[in-house]
Amino acid sequence: MYVYADLLVAVNLVMNVVIILATGRIVGIHPTWGRILAGALFGALTSLAMLLPEGFFLRWTFVKIVVSLCMIGIVFYPLAWRRWPLVLAVFYFISFMLGGTVLAFLYFTDASTYLTNGIFSMQHASWITLISAAALFLIWGQWLWGRLGTRFWQAKYFVPIRVVLSDTHVQTTALIDSGNGLRDPISRLPVTIIEYECVKPLLPAEVTKKFDVTEEHDWINILQEMPHEWVSRLHILPFSSLGKRSGLLIGFRPDRIVVEDNGAETIRTDVIIGMCNRNLSSQGEYHALLHPDLVHKSFHHQKEAS
């Protein structure tokens, strides 16, 4: 049997990138592409070293776990020690899911596989097969996580939030929405979507008068009529959710947002409020969709400080 080192490294590199991206998506951490590629390359080179006579020890279970921890450290450092078990568990779960998807593709495409030194070798498996399996896994995983994740948060995570602007504040209930990946296209700040009626008391009368007599889809057309001092606070937010394939939200930058969870308060200033002139919950359970980064990153920083 011949093993092509470049193909082995390339295949493992692609698969590792997919695993890392999916892991980061689920645990709410977004590493840079440099870290992603570095971690993926480390894992790919380790797979290559397993085939060498000197690399026999890399096939031990304990060493494989250490290699996984090294990959996680390269990609997600700094990571609070209490989050390591969760990230490792998600990392292995995604690995097993992706491996099963690839093997299913190989089964249906009649590609033969066998095990050599702890590594699956594949015959007659094309790049099209592998990339198609990875693409299917990402699409299916995104769809599944968006639904199961949202239901999980809906069952467990309704949190009170307080939006503060100048000397005024409003309070409402928010759903931590795992499917909310909306960010301002320029500043990249996370966007929390709140019903317009909830944040209306924060806005000047001359601003609300314009919004009240204008349909939401035409709000962008009246921005030039807004008071000059408010123009710098307003943001135009492209989105593809809320029952629409694409559209624009109008948002503003508050002074801060306070998230209450289990008696503790988290204050964030790096946020934009996107206004939605409709009910977000048909049963009125919540009136805002909280960006998950406002919770996950706060939790991360608190653990690091401890």
The pLDDT value recorded for residue 77 is 82
- Among candidate residues 292, 294, 256, the one with its CA nearest the CA of residue 170: 256
**Tokens describing residue 222:** 């009246």
| Structure-model confidence comparison of residues 159 and 217, the more confident one | 159
pLDDT band at 285 (very low <50, low <70, confident <90, very high): confident
- The predicted-structure confidence for 74-112, as pLDDT tens digits, reads as follows 998 877 777 788 888 888 888 887 776 666 666 665 555
The helix (H) or strand (E) run that includes residue 75 is helix 61-76
The helix/strand/coil state of 61 is helix
Q: How many CB atoms lie within 10 A of CB 272?
A: 24
Q: How many CB atoms lie within 10 A of CB 232?
A: 9
Mean pLDDT of 22-51: 83
CA dihedral 56, 60, 65, 70 (to 10 degrees): -20
In 35-157, the DSSP E strands lie at 112-116, 119-123
- Looking at every residue in the chain, the average pLDDT score rounds to 76
254 preceded by a cis bond (ω within 30 of 0): no
The pLDDT value recorded for residue 226 is 80
The pLDDT value recorded for residue 155 is 47
Report the relative pairing of strands 119-123 and 247-252 from DSSP bridges.
unpaired
The pLDDT value recorded for residue 207 is 85
Distance CA 140, CA 134 (A): 10
- The predicted-structure confidence for 228-279, as pLDDT tens digits, reads as follows 777 777 888 887 654 555 678 888 999 999 988 767 788 999 899 999 888 8
Distance CA 164, CA 171 (A): 9
Distance CA 279, CA 195 (A): 7
**Tokens describing residue 10:** 């390339």
The pLDDT value recorded for residue 121 is 53
The pLDDT value recorded for residue 232 is 76
Residue 301 has pLDDT above 50, yes or no: no
CA neighbours closer than 13 Å in the CB half-sphere of residue 258: 12
Q: How many CB atoms lie within 10 A of CB 174?
A: 27
| Percentage of residues of the chain with pLDDT beyond 90 | 14
Residue 151 has pLDDT above 60, yes or no: no
Report how far Cα 258 is from the mean position of its chain's Cα atoms.
21
Distance CA 158, CA 177 (A): 10
**Tokens describing residue 79:** 């990571």
- The predicted-structure confidence for 102-141, as pLDDT tens digits, reads as follows 666 666 655 555 445 545 555 555 555 566 666 666 665 5
- Among candidate residues 252, 120, 135, 256, the one with its CA nearest the CA of residue 184: 252
| Percentage of residues of the chain with pLDDT beyond 70 | 68
Residues in the chain: 306
